[in-house]
Amino acid sequence: MTTAASSSYTAENIQVLEGLEAVRRRPGMYIGTTDKAGLHHLIKELVDNAVDEAMAGYCDRIEVIFHASGWCTVVDNGRGIPVDIQKQTGKSAVETVLTVLHAGGKFGGGGYKVSGGLHGVGASVVNALSEQMWVEVVPDPAAQGADKRGKVYRQEFAKGQPCTELTPQKLKEERPSGSTISFKPDPAIFESVEFDFKIEAERLRLYAFLTKRVWFRLFDERDGKEVNYYFEGGIKSFVRHVNHGRDALNFEPVYAEREVDGNSIEFAIQYNDGFNETVYTFANSINTIDGGSHMTGFRTALTRVLNDYARKNKILKDQDPNLTGDDVREGLVAVISVKLPEPQFEGQTKTRLGNAEVAGQVQTVVGEALSQYLEENPNDGRRIIEKCLVASRAREAARKARDLVQRKSALESGTLPGKLADCSSRDPEESEIFIVEGDSAGGSAKQGRDRKYQAILPLFGKILNVEKARPDKMLGHEAIRLVISALGTGIRETFDVSKLRYHKVIIMTDADVDGAHIRTLLLTFFFRNMPELIDGGYLYIAQPPLYRMQQGKDVRYFYNDAQLDEFKKGNKRANLNVQRFKGLGEMNAEQLWETTMKPDNRVLLQVGVHDAADADSLFYELMGDEVSHRRRFIQSNAANVKNLDI
């Protein structure tokens, strides 16, 4: 209903944001977030452009430099951004690329056959979100004309706006062709403008795996750190990297790279003696974490070829059922990378490839190459098939155990062993579950919680290390069954996030070595069996305090030694009574609520995975069968431990 007092709503109320103003007003629409991930997304946009040059065959060296002044520079030795006038804008192509959204050589103009940065917003978005930026281009005379020889073109910008014209100067010394872009992120936009060396190093290493024979260098002027990546074998080297430290069933990865109807298909696979499947798929160097047509084609070919080989060589008898897709993927490490002139991604996030024709192309390439490898390496073939058969038998046992767990799910049963104290809310978005170590802590948590939206699941005894256990053994472990039943999602291939009963799953253990061990065992379980829980941002770690300080009526809690020491430096008064909590059970219900469970006060750490390959290797090293791997890790990282609680 409208009234006379209603405010007017006319064309004057419609605001049009010109140029890059929209990017500065709504940065999250273009880079996702304005936290550290968003900050590093700026670098990614520029590196993507350099990688496009590399994939086109015009660039073999890409550098990222962090400067002490807060600037970041990205350098490539490609053809250089075109410096001539762009007819539609009347400006130089350099200025157009850096100031106009959806401008670039990736829209059918013949600039690139294959490209990852399809939207053409990258460089202009970086410019818009930078306090200052400058670009220098040394044109390749063969690509841009002989009249550009011996010249460097420079232009400066501030917050997306040109400060100077694109000006040519004579090169004072010989310099390879290419583009150099240096930017200083705007602190008014980002929560922090401090670049993270580790995040960028991991990303550049992945680029190096995916674009073989291209040199990537990261240098940090702030402390002198430097890494260089170059992989002659590309994704073949990637597979070896993921399998490092594991016992491989086929010593040499199965590898092929072929072009089919203009699309480049590349894959590498290697089996190990573990129980987990590790498969990465990429399209135009973009990590398609939700798979797509290339994943479908790969899986179809793998299952078909291994069954055909097993039948042909009488390893599978006539009466034996075929191996399933799950059977043939146990212990598999694989990378599938496709490069397409016209990729079709599902969604703005580009996490799933939709090109239907790619499934058949990948199936053909993988099928032919894998069949040839097995024929030429019969010993490897037999080892792989025998492992698949063992996996098949174990999977059948696991299916029976899983069915039992699901029949006793928390959705269908009023009570559960383990004393799950459920919340009254049935809205998953507002509900949270605390997975608590021990009986006494569980009791305090049940008494202190908000019963409307907080559920408590106490766990007793030792948690199974799932890195060392097959699925059937894992599903026979009581604590693991309780967790699966309480969450309601199922695991692995049966996981269904729509059935998740709590959108905050919070691990709450003691703040000591034993608590850390239990936390690591639970994280291993979630990473291996419910990775979608981590990817969706549903998994958290509670941070209980280590100390309670009382001074008269003043009571404070401190979560680590550094906080307590800092308080003591600024507070010289006497009668400080400091209590150190050895475990959650030492806190009464009120204390546990106020410090660790109350949303207004608590500190929760959200569990995430920056580099899945590194995480996979780390869990294997720390939690696998090989004691030598753990010893090596401890020896390598012991110097980084500042304070060990024993």
DSSP 282-335: EETTEE-TT-BHHHHHHHHHHHHHHHHHHHHTTSS-TTSPPPPHHHHTTTEEEE
C-alpha 323/C-alpha 335 separation (Å) is 22
- Asked whether residue 646 is domain-assigned, the answer is no
Residue 15 belongs to a domain: no
Q: Which amino acid is at 576?
A: L
Q: What is the pLDDT of residue 16?
A: 42
Confidence of residue 411 (pLDDT cuts 50, 70, 90): very low
pLDDT tens string 179-189: 999 999 999 99
- Are the C-beta atoms of residues 105 and 112 closer than 8 Å to each other? yes
| Residue 556 belongs to a domain | no
Amino acid 579: pLDDT: 84
For residue 412, name the pLDDT band (cuts at 50, 70, 90). very low
Residue 409 has pLDDT above 50, yes or no: no
Question: Do 110 and 257 lie in a common domain?
Answer: no
| Percent of the chain clearing pLDDT 90 (strictly above) | 50
Block residue for tokens 């291996």: 528
Residue 517 pLDDT level (bands cut at 50, 70, 90):
confident
Q: Give backbone dihedrals phi and psi of 99, rounded to 5 degrees, phi first.
A: -130, -10
Task: Label residue 622 by pLDDT band (50, 70, 90).
Answer: low
Q: What is the pLDDT of residue 58?
A: 93
Measure the CA–CA gap between 367 and 302, rounded to whole angstroms.
7
* Residues taking part in catalysis: 437, 510, 512, 514
pLDDT at 496 over 80: yes
Which positions ≥6 away from 229 have C-beta within 8 Å? 204, 205, 207, 208, 215, 216, 217
Q: Which residues of 88-124 are buried (b: 16+ CB within 10 A; e: fewer)?
A: eeebbbbbbbbbbbebbbbeeeebbebbbbbebbbbb
Residues 39-63: tens digit of each pLDDT: 999 999 999 999 989 988 899 999 9
Residue 384 within a domain: yes
- What CA–CA distance (Å, rounded) separates 210 from 282? 8
Kindly report the backbone phi and psi dihedral angles of residue 59, in degrees, each rounded to the nearest multiple of 5, phi listed first: -145, 135
Mean pLDDT in residue range 92-107: 76
Whole-angstrom distance, CA of residue 132 vs CA of residue 155: 11
Give me the pLDDT at residue 182, please.
Answer: 98
pLDDT at 13 over 60: no
**Is residue 585 situated within a structural domain?**
no
Please report, for the domain that includes residue 347, its CATH number: 3.30.230.10
Instruction: Give me the CATH number covering residue 222.
Output: 3.30.565.10
HEC-encoded secondary structure of 570-585: HCCCCCCEEEECCCHH
Q: Are residues 38 and 178 in the same domain?
A: yes
Work out the percent of the chain whose per-residue pLDDT is above 70: 84
Give the residue, 257 or 578, on which the prediction is more confident. 257
Residue 181's pLDDT is 97
Question: Which H or E run includes 107?
Answer: none
Q: Is the pLDDT of residue 637 over 80?
A: no
pLDDT band at 6 (very low <50, low <70, confident <90, very high): very low
In a 3-state reduction of DSSP, which class is residue 390?
Answer: helix
Predicted confidence (pLDDT) at residue 410 exceeds the cutoff of 70: no
Residues 623, 479, single domain; the answer is yes
Return the residue matching tokens 């046992």. Answer: 397
Q: Is pLDDT larger for residue 229 or for residue 519?
A: 229
Which CATH number do you get for residue 504? 3.40.50.670
**Both 253 and 360 in a single domain?**
yes
Q: Summarize the confidence of residues 112-128 as an average pLDDT.
A: 68
- 220 and 262 in a common domain: no
Q: Enter the DSSP assignment of 466.
A: G
238: tokens are: 């990637």
Q: Is the pLDDT of residue 8 over 70?
A: no
Q: Which of 193, 209, 229 is the last residue of a domain?
A: 229
Q: What pLDDT was estimated at residue 358? A: 96
Shared domain for 75 and 94, answered yes or no, is yes
Query: Which stretch of 10-24, 66-80, 274-288, 429-443 has the lowest confidence by average pLDDT?
Result: 10-24
pLDDT of residue 402: 60
Same domain, 38 and 59: yes
Average pLDDT estimate for 19-24: 82
Average pLDDT, rounded, for the chain? 84
Confidence of residue 621 (pLDDT cuts 50, 70, 90): low
Tokens of 66: 């962090």
Question: From the CB of residue 146, how many other CB atoms can be counted at a distance below 10 Å?
Answer: 8
Tokens 């308080």, located at residue: 567
Query: Mean pLDDT across the stretch 497-511?
Result: 91
Q: What is the mean pLDDT of residues 76-103?
A: 88
Do residues 189 and 289 share a domain? no
Q: In the chain, how many domains are there?
A: 3
Nearest to 242 by CA among 331, 149, 165: 331
Q: How confident is the model at residue 110 (pLDDT cuts 50, 70, 90)?
A: low
pLDDT of residue 616: 60
Residues 356, 315, single domain; the answer is yes
Same domain as 102, residue 34? yes
pLDDT for 158 equals 96
Q: In this structure, are 336 and 378 located in the same domain? A: yes
Q: How far apart are CA 571 and CA 339, in angstroms?
A: 62
**pLDDT tens per residue across span 202-227:** 999 999 999 999 999 999 999 999 99
Q: Is the pLDDT score of 1 beyond 80?
A: no
pLDDT tens-digit series, residues 388-406:
998 888 877 766 666 655 5
Domain with 286, as residue range(s), is 235-393
Q: Please say which residue of 393, 427, 454 terminates a domain.
A: 393
Note whether residue 551 is domain-resident.
no
Domain-ending residue, one of 393, 418, 438: 393
Would you say residue 417 has pLDDT above 90? Answer: no
Could you tell me if 47 and 154 lie in one domain?
yes
Q: Is 168 within the bounds of a domain?
A: yes
The answer to whether position 441 is within a domain reads yes
Rounded Cα distance, 309 and 315, in Å: 8
